[in-house]
Structure 1
C-alpha cells in the first residue's frame, strides 16, 4: 500500500491502480456509468416555465394593463430597483455552491407569476370566508391585510418550494439551497406586487398633483423593505432545507410547517403595523420608521447573521468532505485548496482559459461544480441511509470529474516540445 505524505496535511492511504478512474468504487455497473438523458428534464422545465409565463401574461392583462401604459412603465422601472437588490444578495449567497440556472429561473417566475396568480384566485374566496357578514370596511381591511395576505401569499409562495422538492431532492439539498430558492420566489412575488403598488401610488400622485405620495411608497417598499417578502418565505425554505439535509420525512412536515407558520406571523406583524401603531397624523412616516427600526431591522439582522453562519458552515462542509475524498486518493491536497476557495477557483479557470481556451475553461468550471456537488451529496448521505441511488450518483459525479480532468490535461498540454533534442 503506497502512502506518501503531501502538502496539505494528509496522505494518499489507498492503492490506486488508476487514480483517475472510478473503478475502485467496488461493485456496481460494469464499465462507465451511463449518463442520464438531460433533454427530457430540460423539456419539462421549459414547458413549466412557459406555462408560468402564460400565467404572467394573464396577470398583466387583468391587473397591470388597466393601470395604463405610461403608469405601468413607471411602476415596472421602479420595481426593478428592489428586485435588483434581491438578485445581488441571491448571487452572493449562491455563488459558492451554485444551483442550476434553469431552476433559479423557474423559482423567480413562479414567484412573479404562479404564486401571484394563485393568490388572486384564492385570496378573494379566503377573505370572504374569514370576514363576518355584518363587518365594517375597516374590519374587512384588517382581516385582509393581517390574516388573508400572510396565509394565502406565504402558502402560494411555498408551493413553489414544494414543487422543487417533488421534482428532485437534489435541488434543495441543504439550508442554503432552500434559502436561495425561497429568496428568488419571494423576490419574484414582490416584483409583481411592487408594480401594482407603485402604479396605484403613481395614479394617486397624479390625482393629487404632487409626487410625494409616489416617492414615499417607493422609499418604503423599494429601498427600506426589499427583503421583507424574502425574510418571510426564507423561513420555510430554511426549514425544508434542513429537513432535506437530514433526509427525514418527519422533519419535512415539522420544520416546513413550522417555518411557514413563522413566516406567516412575521408577514402579519409587518402588515398589521399600520393598524396597530399609534400613528402621528401629522407625520405618519416618522411613526412607521420608528417601528421599522425597532422591530423589522433586528429581524432582518438576525436572518442576515444566520445566512452568514450558513455560508461559513457550507464552506467547512466542502473542505471536510473533499479532504476525505483526497485521503482516499481522488484529489491532491492542492486541488482541495483550490476547490474550497472562490479566489483560487477563479484563478484556476483563468489558467485553464489561458492554456486551453474556452474548452479548458468550461471543463475546469464543470469540474469545480461536480466536486462541490460531490461534497454536499456526501454530507447528506452521512446524515441518512446510503442507497443504490446515492452510490450511483456518486459514481456519475466521480466519472464526470475524471472526464473533466482528462480533458483539461489534453487541451492544456503543449503540442510542440519545448526542449530541443540533444545532438
Structure 2
C-alpha cells in the first residue's frame, strides 16, 4: 500500500486526544445495559396496558393494522439520511423510545392529568377536550423530544445538522404513532364487537382511514419541528450557548402548537377536521418536505465543495469529489463493487462514501469556526478509515466518475458528415479501420460568410 499523504492543515482548535479514566458507571456497556433494560421494561408495561384496554383480539387486530405505515415512513426517513447515513443503532433506539418509553409516559401522564381535571372541574367532557388539546400535546411532544435530546447529547458525532434531527425525530414519532395506533384501532375493534358493526361503516374502518390512510405523517410532522430545532443548534458554534438552547425549545413549542391545533380540530365543528387537514396540515407537510429535500441537496453541494482540498493533498483521487457529491454516482459505484467484487466490497464502498461525507461536513464546520476541540483527532480518524478502504473503493468510484460524468456540450457550429470514404481530417477517428459511414447524399457545402455580425464560436 502506498504511503499516506501528509495531513492537510485546517482551521481548527486544539485537539485533545487524551482519554480520562472512566468510572464503572461511565463505561459504555453499563450505559447500554441500563438503556436496554429501561426500554425493555417500558415495552413490557406498555404491552400490558394496551392489551388490558383492547383485549387480546383487539390488540392483535390493532397491531396488524398499525404496522402498515411503519415500513413506508421508516424508508422515507432513511432515504433522507442517505447522504451521510447514521448508524442503525440510533434509529433502533429512536423507534424503541417512541414506541415504548414515550408511549408509556404519554399514557400514564395523560390519564392522570385528565382524571385530575375531571375531578377538579366536575365536568368530564371538558376534561377530555382540555386533555386532548392542551395536556396531550405538551406531554407527548416532550416525551418524544427526549429521544432527540439524548442522541444530540450522547451521539454528537452522528448529529451534525438538520437532516439528522429530522430523521431521529421522525423515526421516534413513527414508533410513538405505531403504539398509539394499536391502542386506538384495538379499542375501535372492541367497540365494533359490542355493537355488531362491520365493514366500511365500522368504527375500525373509520379510525383506520383517519389515522393510517389520511394522516400517517401527523406525529412525525409535529416532532420533526423539534428535530429541526436541534439540527440548527448542531450547526451552531459551541460557544453560542443561548442559541443552542433557544432553538430546540422553539422547535418543541412549535411542535406542541401544531399538535394542539390538530387535536382540537374535532371541536371546530362538523368539518373542522377536514378544514384543518386541508388548510394547515397538508401545506405544512409540503413545506417541511421541501425544506428537508433542499437541505439534502445542500449537503451534497457541501461535499462537492469541501472534498477537493483532500484530493489536492493526495487523500482522494481527483474525480472522487464529483462522485461523492452525486447520489446517482454513489449508487453506481456500489453496484460496480457488488457486481465485480461481492457484497463485502459494496459495503466497503458505502462506508467509504459515508466517511468521506462526514469528512466534508467536518471540514465545513471547521472552516466556519464551528468545529469542536477534537477537530484534528476526528479528521485523522476519518482519513484513516478512507485510506483503509481505498483499494476497493477507488476503482468503483473511478468507474462511476467515467459513467456519470456529464456529456460534453455539442459544438456551437454545425458539423457536416462526409460522403462515405471521404477523409475528414478534423475527426479523431480518421485513420481507424472502417472509418466513414454511408451518407444519403453529397456533403453539404460550407456556409458562405458574407456581411453580418462577427463570428463568435461561444454564441449558442
TM-score range, shorter chain: 0.7 to 0.9
* Cα contact 2:66–2:212 (8 A) shared by 1: yes
Please give the alpha-carbon distance, in whole angstroms, between the structure 1 residues aligned to 2:76 and 2:287: 16
Cross-structure match for 1:90: 77
Superposition deviation, residue 23 in structure 1: 4.8
Distance 2:332 2:31 in 1: 36
Partner of 1:414: none
User: CA offset at residue 327 of structure 1?
Assistant: 3.5
Q: Which one of the candidate residues 216, 239, 252 is aligned to 2:206?
A: 216
Whether 1:119 aligns to 2:106 is: yes
Within 5 Å, give how 1:341-356 maps onto structure 2.
341-356=326-341
Please say if residues 236 and 370 of structure 2, whose CA atoms lie closer than 8 Å, have aligned partners that are also in contact: no
Structure-to-structure mapping, 1:351-362, within 5 angstroms: 351-362=336-347
**RMSD over aligned Cα atoms:** 2.8
Conserved 8 A contact 2:236-2:244: no
Q: Does the residue aligned with 1:329 lie in a helix, a strand or coil? A: coil
Contact 2:230 2:248 in 1 (8 A): yes
Q: Deviations over 1:54-112 (max 9, x none)?
A: 21111101222442222111100110122233112212211222110011100000000
> Where do 5+ consecutive residues of structure 1 fail to align?
1-17, 280-285, 412-423
Bigger shift: 120-129 or 330-339? 120-129
Cα deviation code 1:137-162 (max 9, x no counterpart): 22101110011000000011101111
Q: Does 1:375 align with 2:360?
A: yes
Contact 1:64 1:195 in 2 (8 A): no
The reply to whether residue 241 of structure 1 matches residue 231 of structure 2 is yes
Q: In structure 2, what is the equivalent of residue 105 of structure 1?
A: 92
Q: 2:383 aligns with which of 374, 398, 404?
A: 398
* Higher gyration radius (CA): 2
Closer/same/farther in 2, CA of residues 305 and 324 from structure 1, 3 Å limit: same
Pairwise mapping of residues 183-198 of structure 1 onto structure 2 (< 5 A)? 183-198=170-185
Name 2:349's counterpart in structure 1. 364
Distance 1:346 1:46 in 2: 36
Unaligned runs of 5+ in 2: 20-26, 397-460
Kept after mapping to 1: 8 A contact 2:349/2:389: yes
Which of 316, 321, 329 is equivalent to 2:301?
A: 316
Q: 1:364 offset after TM fit, Å?
A: 1.6
The two structures have a TM-score, normalised by structure 2, of 0.76
Q: 2:255 aligns with which of 246, 263, 269?
A: 263
Distance in 2 (alpha carbons) for counterparts of 1:305 and 1:111: 25
1:251 is displaced (CA, Å) by: 1.8
Alignment pair present for 1:329 and 2:295: no
After superposition, the C-alpha distances for 1:154-207 in whole angstroms (9 at most, x for unaligned) are: 011101111112213212210000000000010100000000000011111222
- Distance in 2 between the 1:218 and 1:393 partners? 48
Give, in whole Å, the separation in 1 of the partners of 2:303 and 2:3: 21
Q: 1:46 to 1:171 in 2, by over 3 A?
A: farther
Counterpart in 2 of 1:156? 143
User: Structure 1 residue 273 and structure 2 residue 260: aligned?
Assistant: no
Residue among 340, 343, 346 paired with 2:325: 340
Q: What is the number of equivalent residue pairs in this alignment?
A: 379
Shift of 1:47: 4.8
Per the normalisation by structure 1, the TM-score is 0.82
The Cα of 1:263 is off from its aligned counterpart by 0.5
Deviations 1:211-241 (A, max 9, x none): 3211111010001111111111111110111
Which residue does the alignment assign to 1:56? Answer: 43
The 1:409/1:291 distance shift into structure 2, 3 A limit, reads: closer
Pairing partner for 1:175 from 136, 139, 162: 162
